[in-house]
Amino acid sequence: KIVRSECKEKETALNEYDDNIASGHGSYLLNQGSAEDVFVLNVGNLPASTECIVVITYMTTLTTDGDAFKFDVPITKVRIANDPTDPIILPSTSTTSTTTTTQSIYGLSLNLKIEMTSAITGIQCDSHQVISTIKNDHSAELTLLPDQ
Please give the Cα distance from 1 to 7 (Å, whole number): 20
Identify the pLDDT of residue 91: 42
- Contact yes or no for 73/81 (Cβ under 8 A): no
- Contact yes or no for 96/18 (Cβ under 8 A): yes
Identify the pLDDT of residue 131: 92
Cα angle for residues 43, 19, 103 (degrees, 5° grid) = 35
Identify the pLDDT of residue 78: 52
Identify the pLDDT of residue 22: 95
- Mean pLDDT of successive 10-residue segments in the chain (148 residues)? 87 94 93 79 87 80 82 62 44 38 55 87 84 91 78
Q: How far is CA 7 from CA 10, 12, 97, 98, in A?
A: 9, 10, 21, 24
Please give the Cα distance from 147 to 128 (Å, whole number): 9
Identify the pLDDT of residue 107: 62
